[in-house]
Structure 1
Amino acid sequence: MIDDKIKEPQDVQPSAPPPLTTKEKLRAFWARVQCSSLLRRHHFRARTRRRMEGFGAFLSRFPLARQAGDFLYSLGFAGEYSMIQAGRVIESAAIWLSAAFLRAWQDVADTAFPGARTVLRELFEPLYVLCRGVRNIWVHGTNVRREKGFWAGIVADLQYLGRGAVRYAGLLPRMVVYLLPLGSLAILLTVVQVMVGSPYTLAVDVNGVTVGHVANEDTFDSAREDVLQRVNYAGTSGEAELTIEPTYRLAISTEVLDESQMADAILSAVSDEISEGTALYLDGELTAVCAEGDQLELYLDGMLSAYQDDADPTAVVSFNRTVTLEDGLYFTDSFKDYADVVSLLSGVRQAERVYTVQQGDSISLIATKNNLTTAELCELNDITTDTAIFPGDELIVTREEAMLEVQITRTVTWTEEIPFSTQKTQSSEYAFGTTHTVQEGENGIRTITAENVYDTEGNLLEQTIVSSEVTKEPVNREIVVGTKLPSGSVAQVGNGTFIWPVPQYTYCSRWYSSSHKGVDICAPAGTPIYASASGVISKAGYERNGAGSGYGYSIIINHGNGYSTVYAHCLSLTVSAGQAVSQGQLIGYVGSTGRSSGNHCHFEIRYNGRYLPPQNYFNK
């Protein structure tokens, strides 16, 4: 039965290992690579060591090799020992030199400054002891904290500090040398910081009483001027005005008043006959005071709104004068009714006044009598300083002007042409005086933006150019003027400027007029005559061979630019027809040939055959 119950053990099959993951495969691969590399290095070192041992055994067979090895070893040992000995010698020498220098320095210091060492010890010994004590306390406390804990270390620090204080109590008086300056510096910095951060103002006093504070002197001056305006407008007597003498002093306060509030405070301190009202200022000048400030403001706004143009958003409606309404305290007697203020604003500021010219008056004298400049008087009457005036004439010396006018400012834009200029060049390829246009000129265009100020009737009062932008550049006209003469030579074309043909002789017996086409320059016979500008002699000779009948010996110079000049009644000539001359070149001498009553040079300037007054080109 027992045998039947005993069962033979069954064979247990081992389970297959789980497959490796990709990460585990990579780790196994990297381990094999490292092992392979380690084995290769180990084999290389072992192989190298065996070869070196074999090479050494090979060399040891030769006596000469052993002797060479012993020599190299001895040489290396000797070199190393020599380096060590040299370093020791250098170190000893450095120490000795440092000690010698220190002793010498101490001797020099003791000789030059006998008490310096004592002074330095007195000054810095407390600091040295303090620093050393702090270090010792820290080291001692750290050691105790490591052995017995944190609080035991703190107790040890306090005990060490107490023992040090008792031991070096004699140094405490000397510590005052350091503590007093530091304390004084701290107090000074604190005082400076407090003073700088304090709100400094100006305290305004009237008759010894402080009426308020202002931020600066400018505010005080503005408030004082405002008070004077209110006093003058009220028509108070001189004595009353002298009693208002506000002064200021430096003070500290966090509350400050502006100029209007300060003016109210000053008036409150000097008079009881004041009331609250609204003041009207025109261009900064007190013009009226009334109690109906709100109605006055509505009236002024209505004057402007009547001319608002919704169709033109750029239009700005304003007054011709700066209008300011200021609420404050004003003398009760200076108040006006609202109707009177409106009547004042709708009236004229100054009526037109006429002055009757008296015997001995002049334009400048009349201007002075009426506090005008000469230019202002001429503008009022549309005259000039050369206008003749006679007794009994009437001149306007003051023009009627409205007290307050509405003006409208509009931004306008327009375009205008930019005239082109002409550039002339000279060329020997063309005949003298002939012109050839290389490039036609073309006007440019600019866009101008301006602010125009109009009155209510649309009359332009003022114009201010805001911007001017060139949208198209002008194209210059280019002209070539010929300089080639028939003979093949080249002449220079005149540049449009002239010089006086008879230098140093400026007296002229006759000037240009409708019956006399030139100027007669008086000079002695034989005085040189020079070309007024460069060009070509077109005619030179007597009478018809020159400038014509009656001109005597005369010259005509063609300057090639439309201009020509004539020199007549010459004594003799130094040039001939067809010859090129330059500006300032000698061409003849002053004489009295032809129809002439005395020695002179008759000089003419012509442009395209038209006579021009020479006096326009020279300063009389």
Structure 2
Amino acid sequence: MDGLRCKLTVHAWRRRTKKARRHHSFRQVLARIPHANLIGDALYMIGFWVEYAVVCAVRGTYKVASTIGMNAARLLVTIIRPFALGIITLCEDIVEPFQVVGSGIRHFRAISDELSDESAHTIRKEKLRYFAHAARQFLPLLLNALSYIMPVAAAAGFLYVVQSGLNQNFVLNVQVNGTSVGTVASEQVFESAREDVRSRITNAEAVMASTGAQVSDDSWDVTPTYTLESGSSTMTETEAADAILCASSDQIGEATAVYVDDSLRFVTTEGDHLRTYLESIKAPYVNAMDQNKRVSFVHDIKLVDGIYLLSSILDYNNVISTLNQGGGPTYYTAAAGDTVQTVVDNTGVSWDTLAALNPDLTGTDEVLDEGTAVMTGVSHPDMLQIKEVVRSTYTEPIPFDTQTSESDEYDFGKTVVVQEGADGTEEITRETTYIDGVESSSEVVNYKVLQNPTTQLIVKGTKLASGMVARIGSGTFVWPVPNYTYVSRWMSSYHKGADICAAYGTPIIASDSGKVVTAGWHYSYGNYVIIDHGNGYRTLYAHMSQLKCTAGQAVNQGDVIGLVGSTGDSTGNHCHFEMYYNGARFSAQTYFGGMRASR
């Protein structure tokens, strides 16, 4: 234990010694600094005044904050105190009558105990006296409490009345000639019912006029009105129209109105028979098992049961006769040179249908005499044309896109497919409409992508053997001899290209970017240049007086590659220009047809 204490003492002594040495060294360093004492005094004064300024700022801030806080508290107390006193006073004024009543009841009950030795008459007399005194004391307190309670009760009553009124359902009481016929939910329903009544009256007048009956302007003067009242049960537009007619005239009865495209056309008493007849017309086209087929009339035909003017009712046979006006067989009149296939192509009617309608036809190759009438179908009456909407679903491929880029990692002219393209698949829903069995329209109603296409990525090389980088041609060419548009000869069976006449030494430019694959001499072409544009196209320029490029060189569209001359097999200064695509030569006139071919 003593040895441990000795070690600790020695260790502490060594630390103090090292610390003293560091302080001594630091003082020696400071002593070597010029004017060390002055600098130390200056630093001391700076530290003192900074500390003093901070202390003063903190004290000033605290004082200002304390003053603001105290004033805010006083202001808050000044504002809140009247409200608090008012609330306390209000509570005391309201509660005090109840406290007084409670105290009075306790004292009233104690009278019998205090006067237990007195007679009953004396006790009753004392209670009456105490009650009268208490009433005189209680009345002012009660009136004071009521002065608070009554306004609150009045406000609550007002809110209750307003809420009840808002929740109450109001309807329109429809009246005809002062007699109520029912209620409707809104003015819009009333107006619609009134328009329906007018429509029925107009139709009745039209029917009467068609029969020769005299119709006066006031035959049925129906002017319904309405008043506002509370209620719940209401009539629909049709029910309101029926009720108005019932109340306005005794010349009405139950019938069925026939609306065609929302226009009232007929009124008949045989509504059920008419429905059966209309359904029988659609029956041959309806297949209950086919969910992708909808059958209806071309015209929107609606049958509405209701109350109608008896004078507007038509006989059932007349209704059927009117509905069946028009229609019948349809024919194609053959022109000179027409065949049965011509009829199929022009009408869209299949050969099987034509053969069934025209048994004398022998085949699609049969030549028809001019003026021959070929039956193509049987159309329904105009009002009863049948419309079939057939929905079909099928898939189609989505062609993939191709993205082409250039890279100097590959030699010029080399094409590398880095990603193979693949078509996608989409599901198409199409609706085809047939009118009386003949297709009239077809439209796609929905697309659904089942599989997205994969884009094909192609990289075309631009690196030349010389180390240069060539650009792939754009596929759009410029005229190789600017400002000279006269062409003495275009390409023909006896001439390979276009001869562009120009002055000796005129610059010849590259028609598109690419690589010079040939730049030299040919016995026929003379000095000539061939450029590979890297996209399947090549161009040739011949009879140059001088070459301005070398084989293997990269050129951009518009770069000068030579000068016009008459070298080789040539009879005058010109540029012989040829164009190739995938090795096949074609006429430059395809791109430059606007150039002059003669002087």
Return the TM-score normalized by structure 1: 0.53
Structure 2 residue 92 is the aligned partner of structure 1 residue 128: yes
C-alpha distance in 2 between matches for 1:212 and 1:592: 106
Quickly say closer, same or farther: Cα 1:210–1:351, change in 2 above 3 A.
farther
Q: 1:202 aligns with which of 168, 172, 192?
A: 172
* Corresponding position: 1:415 with 2:395: yes
CA gap 1:166/1:280 in 2 versus in 1, 3 angstroms = same
CA distance in 2, matches of 1:295, 1:590: 96
- Find the aligned partners of 2:509 and 2:321 in 1 and give their Cα distance: 76
**2:239 is equivalent to residue 261 of structure 1:** yes
Where does residue 488 of structure 1 map in the other structure?
467
Q: Structure 1 residues 202 and 535, CA, compared in 2 at 3 Å: closer, same or farther? A: farther
Larger RCO: 1 or 2 (CA < 8 Å, sep 6+): 2
Distance of aligned partners of 1:193 and 1:429 in 2 relative to their CA distance in 1, 3 Å threshold: closer
Deviation at 1:316, TM superposition (A): 3.6
Map 1:126-525 to 2 at 5 A: 127-135=91-99, 165-204=135-174, 211-234=181-204, 235=206, 239-240=217-218, 250-268=228-246, 271-309=249-287, 312-348=290-326, 402-438=382-418, 440-455=420-435, 457=437, 459=439, 461-470=441-450, 472-495=451-474, 498=476
Supply the distance in 2 between the matched residues of 1:143 and 1:555 (Cα, whole angstroms): 135
- For residues 129 and 187 of structure 1, do their structure 2 counterparts lie closer, same or farther at Cα, with a shift above 3 Å needed? closer
The more displaced of 480-489 and 568-577 is 568-577
TM superposition shift of 1:493: 1.6
In structure 2, how many angstroms separate the alpha carbons of the residues matched to 1:336 and 1:518? 85
Residue type of the partner of 2:515? Answer: V
Q: Contact (CA 8 Å) 1:203, 1:249: kept in 2 or not?
A: yes
Partners of 1:350 and 1:400 within 8 A in 2: yes
Q: Which residue of 1 aligns with 2:535?
A: 561
Deviation at 1:302, TM superposition (A): 1.9
Aligned-pair CA distance for 1:568: 11
Aligned: 1:580 with 2:580: no
Q: 1:575 to 1:204 in 2, by over 3 A?
A: farther
Contact 1:226 1:263 in 2 (8 A): yes
Which residue is 2:123 aligned to? none
1:451·1:466 contact (CA, 8 Å) conserved in 2?
Answer: no
SS at match of 1:167: helix
What is the CA deviation profile of residues 295-334 of structure 1, one whole-angstrom value per residue up to 9, with x for unaligned ones?
0111122223333335535444333333321012233343
Residue deviations 1:104-133 (CA, integer Å, cap 9, x gap): 969xx9xxxxxx99xx88x97564143245
C-alpha deviation, 1:482, in angstroms: 2.2
Post-superposition offset of 1:277: 1.3
1:252 counterpart letter in structure 2: S
Q: How many residues align?
A: 439
Structure 1 pair 290–421 and aligned structure 2 pair: CA distance change class (3 A)? same
Q: CA deviation at 1:255?
A: 3.2
**1:142–1:593 CA distance, 2 compared to 1 (3 A):** farther
1:365 matched residue in structure 2: none
Residues 254 and 429 of structure 1: CA distance in aligned 2, closer, same or farther (over 3 Å)? closer
Q: Secondary structure at the match of 1:536?
A: strand
Distance in 1 (alpha carbons) for counterparts of 2:306 and 2:439: 38
Distance, in Å, in 1 between the alignment partners of 2:303 and 2:550 is 86
For 1:215 and 1:603, the matched residues in 2 are separated by: 87
Once residues 278 and 477 of structure 1 are traced to their aligned partners in structure 2, the CA distance between those partners, rounded to angstroms, is 66
Aligned partners of 1:518 and 1:614 also within 8 Å: no
Q: What is the RMSD computed on CA atoms of the aligned residues?
A: 6.0
SS in 2 for 1:483: strand
Amino acid at match of 2:230: I
1:230-288 C-alpha deviation (Å, 9 max, x unpaired): 34433277945995565555433333221112222344455554332111123322232
For residues 251 and 518 of structure 1, the distance between their equivalents in structure 2, rounded to whole angstroms, comes to 97
Query: Partners of 1:557 and 1:319 in 2: how far apart?
Result: 68
Separation in structure 1 between the aligned mates of residue 380 and residue 505 of structure 2, nearest angstrom: 67
Q: Are 2:97 and 2:142, in contact at CA under 8 Å, matched by a contact in 1?
A: no
Distance change in 2, residues 1:174/1:136 (3 Å): closer
CA contact (8 A) 1:604 1:614 kept: no
Aligned with 1:306: secondary structure? helix
The change in CA–CA distance for 1:253 and 1:435 in structure 2 (over 3 A counts) is same
Match of 1:54 in 2: none
TM-score by length of 2: 0.54
C-alpha distance in structure 1 between counterparts of 2:552 and 2:541, whole Å? 16
Structure 1 SS opposite 2:384: coil
Deviation, structure 1 residue 143: 12
Give unmatched runs, 5+ long, in structure 2: 1-69, 114-127, 210-214, 331-345, 348-378, 568-573, 594-599
Identity value in percent: 36
User: What is the identity, as a one-letter code, of the residue corresponding to 2:385?
Assistant: E
Matched-pair contact (CA < 8 Å) for 1:419–1:474: yes
> Where does 1:35-114 land on structure 2 (aligned, <5 Å)?
none
Letter in 1 for 2:285: Y
1:529-550: per-residue Cα shift (whole Å, max 9, x none)?
98775433567899999xx79x
Q: Distance in 1 between matches of 2:246 and 2:131?
A: 70
- d(CA) in 1 for partners of 2:130 and 2:469? 116
Distance in 2 (alpha carbons) for counterparts of 1:575 and 1:437: 31
Q: CA deviation at 1:219?
A: 2.1
* CA 238–487 in structure 1, closer or farther in 2 if over 3 Å, else same: farther
Work out the CA distance in 2 between the residues paired with 1:164 and 1:519.
134
**1:105–1:463: structure 2 CA closer, same or farther, 3 Å change rule?**
closer
Is the 1:570–1:593 contact (alpha carbons within 8 Å) kept by the matching residues of 2?
A: yes
Q: Note closer, same or farther for the CA distance 1:312–1:477 as it changes in structure 2 (3 Å cut).
A: same
Secondary structure class of the residue paired with 2:285:
coil
Q: 1:334 to 1:558 in 2, by over 3 A?
A: farther
Counterparts of 1:181 and 1:555, CA distance in 2: 110
Letter in 1 for 2:273: Q
What amino acid is aligned across from residue 130 of structure 1 in structure 2?
Answer: I
Aligned equivalents of 1:462 and 1:314: distance in 2? 14
Alignment check: 8 A CA contact 1:200 1:251 kept: yes
CA distance in 2, matches of 1:337, 1:542: 102
Cα drift, residue 169 of structure 1: 1.9
What is the alpha-carbon distance in structure 1 between the residues aligned to residue 202 and residue 107 of structure 2? 90
C-alpha separation in 1, matches of 2:262 and 2:456: 56
Q: 1:128 to 1:209 in 2, by over 3 A?
A: same
Letter in 2 for 1:298: T
Deviation at 1:292, TM superposition (A): 0.4
Q: State the secondary structure of the residue aligned to 1:329.
A: strand
